């Protein structure tokens, strides 16, 4: 099963439609089960749309990956805080 950290690594490719059929199905299944990742993907989509609307060009791929990395770190910190408090 796809884990949150795995999804964060392929989120841009998922949004861009660049995943294989199997990977795409794994992401969709994970998103059905994980609200945090649904939020992450939604935020990434909106960020991409905002950048495209305001830049007049396609956003830099490295910039998108940096956003992915930072959101992934934030999700991991949130999960570790939740786990630590249990």
Q: Identify the sign of the CA torsion 14, 20, 21, 22.
A: negative
- pLDDT in single tens digits along all 86 residues of the chain: 899 999 989 999 999 999 999 999 999 999 999 999 999 999 999 988 887 777 766 667 888 888 888 888 888 887 787 766 65
> Residue 28: its pLDDT value, please?
96
* Threshold 0.75, pTM exceeds: no
> Residue 67: its pLDDT value, please?
86
> Residue 22: its pLDDT value, please?
95
Residue spans per domain, the chain? 4-85
Rounded CA-CA distance 25/21 in Å is 6
């Amino acid at each position: 099963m796809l884990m949150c950290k795995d999804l964060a690594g392929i989120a841009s490719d998922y949004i861009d439609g660049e995943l294989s059929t199997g990977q795409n199905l794994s992401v969709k299944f994970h998103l059905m089960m994980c609200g945090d990742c649904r939020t992450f993907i939604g935020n990434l989509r909106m960020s991409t749309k905002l950048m495209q609307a305001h830049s007049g060009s396609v956003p830099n791929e490295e910039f998108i990956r940096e956003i992915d990395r930072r959101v992934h770190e934030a999700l991991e910190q949130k999960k570790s805080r939740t786990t630590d408090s249990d």
